[in-house]
Amino acid sequence: MMQRDKKGFSIVELIVVMAILMVVLAIAVPIFNSYRDRANLQEAAQETASDIKLYLQRAVAENREYRITFDAGANQYVIQNQVGASWVDVATKQIGAGHRSVSIFETPAFGGNTTVNMKPRGTLASGGHLKLKHAQSGKVVRITATLMGRVYVKDE
């Protein structure tokens, strides 16, 4: 008598494999979401810090003052340069553009106000900080700008 070749998987084998996959996914998805939230927060913080650095460099290169005013209510900041005695808008940027869950946390504090003033000599009018928070994870980062123009991002 000839034996038949068994090809394929039994239903029990498929159920076991599916159960293992479900356990792996149950572990991996929260880890991935946490990583994604953290990456979104860091991206927003680094982009904001980069803008402060960029416009500080432009202030030196163009020999004119720039300022960035943060609006916590609108979750955005406005970049302006000084032309004569008036300020002209250069750009308006949303905090964490594309990541609605990242927002300004607490009122920005730069010398008692919400504005970072960049001087043509490469310094800031006053140092200060801005905190960003991710709504889902609750993680907070602080963007600090020193009087001498150093800007860095640190976890809270």
**pLDDT at residue 65 tops 60:** yes
Span 122-142, mean pLDDT? 94
Quote the mean pLDDT of the chain.
92
In this predicted model, what pLDDT tens digit does every residue of 1-15 receive, in sequence order? 566 667 788 899 999
pLDDT of 1 reads 57
Torsional class of 84: left (φ above 0), alpha (ψ -120 to 50), beta (otherwise): left
Contacts of 3 (CB under 8 A, 6+ apart): none
Beta-ladder partners of 132: 104, 141
Report, as an integer, the average pLDDT of 12-30: 93
Count Cβ neighbours within 10 Å for each residue of 48-68 and write b for 16 or more, e otherwise. bbebbbebbebbbeeeebbbb
All domains in the chain, ordered by first residue:
11-155 (3.55.40.10)
C-alpha distances in Å from residue 6, one per residue of 1, 3, 38, 95: 15, 9, 49, 60
The reported pLDDT for the residue numbered 97 is 78
Distance CA 76, CA 104 (A): 8
pTM for this predicted structure: 0.82
